[in-house]
Amino acid sequence: MLNDAWTLAIETLSWMEMQKLSERLALARTIKQLRISNSNAVRLAHRLVCETDRRRNFIDKFVNNVLEPYVMDDFNLGVQAFLRLYVYQTRMAKNWHSINTKEAENIVKLARTILGWKTLHKVEPSFGLLLTQKPSSVLNDVSDEQRIGLLTFHPTWFVRYCFNLFGRKEAINMLEANVQPPPTYIRLNTLKANENETLRRLAEKGIRVKRVEELKHTYIVVGARQPLTKTRFFREGLFCLQDKASCFAAEAANPKPGTTVLDICAAPGAKTTYLVQLMQNRGEIYSIDYLRRRMDIWANEVARTGVKIATPIIVDARNPLPLKVEADVVVLDPPCTSTGAFRKLPSAKWRLTRRSIDKMAEIQWKMISNSAKNVKSGGALIYSTCSITVEENEMIIERFLKWHTEFSLVEITPKIGLSGLRGLEECQRLYPHTHQCNGFFIAKLLKE
């Protein structure tokens, strides 16, 4: 099992580096490539990959200090991946306090089996040094922003951005919260079963949950005996894995039974299925996304949860939508930098640059401009992202209101977040350190 897990982890990190893939997509590709199906090995590999990549900047600087005169980029991707995993498992997972030399020896033996001793020959002398090097060496001769970035595992540019936006103290609180894995939330699906009955059945199988009071059907998972996606209840569609912030966006849209809804950037389907649940499977919902692969996942989720009124449309929302539909509610959750979801997607931190924010904002502007055309008079447009930047959120809304004077901001219920920035008090923001969910922005615009 250990050999399979470490093989998966090394190959997954290599794919992530080579093709800038997310953890989940790279792991799925590696499982298919290597034909490893042992569920324990997959779970261990996923944990190793996520927790190693979460701390990547600190690990890389730590390793490069030991490798001198070499640097990690002098070696192939497999060796780089192993060095990162080795430092995480032997040092950081132990909080730097204890050194288990026997474990380290066994891990190196696994690496020789997986990568070959010739591949590792040049870096072999560094394995012992990596066990004894003090982590404080990484913080020598660095600026305050670099130090905070290393201690909270974020790029320096992002630390600087957060300092400017939130102030140093609040920014550090948020950055520190990103170090921990996110809590798990589920949304109970009343299209399939009565909520109280589902709660009873979950409790019988040792799945302990606690209600999120502000929302209708959302629960935080307190404990479970097995992975939730492996349970019979999940296969039957009795619940969906969905972050609290995403559930909030659907409830803010507040679609009524019998109405027409347009769900733009709908895949992988959690948003569509909750909108339909709130509509009690009555009315029409058109779900748009631009990749057939993503819409295949959407179709599976729609079928699993008992949705009957959703129509899939594969089209790129950056272009005018080929629809004559006038919707009561248009929900737009466009692609974003995911700066509010670094706890869930740690690899996103290392793919982004400061320019990524402005590039993404232009995509979002095209999408919201196109979406506005399908809102009927008296209808609502919901705009949300899992980003904490103002360029992708408040500044998009400010620009939109200048160009579309027929729209105005309205208050959002329920009120579970903090007010938007730049004076947009009707908008709401959620933060990882304050609300224990993805960082999130949401605006509701009414067409007069």
C-alpha span between 337 and 328 (Å, rounded)? 28
Tokens standing for residue 293: 């692969």
- Cβ of 117: how many Cβ atoms within 10 Å? 12
Start-to-end Cα distance in the chain: 61
Q: Which residues contact 141 (CB under 8 A, 6 or more apart)?
A: none
Annotation marks residue 240 as catalytic: no
3-state SS, residue 30: helix
Selecting among 162, 386, 427, 437, the annotated active-site residue is 386
The secondary structure of 213-254 as a DSSP string is TTSSSEEEEEE-SS-GGGSHHHHTTSEEE--HHHHHHHHHH-
Q: Exposed, middle or buried by CB within 10 Å (0-12, 13-18, 19+), for 62?
A: buried
Q: Which residues contact 99 (CB under 8 A, 6 or more apart)?
A: 90, 91, 131, 132
C-alpha span between 145 and 165 (Å, rounded)? 14
Residue 224 is inside which H or E element, if any? none
Active site positions, annotated = 386
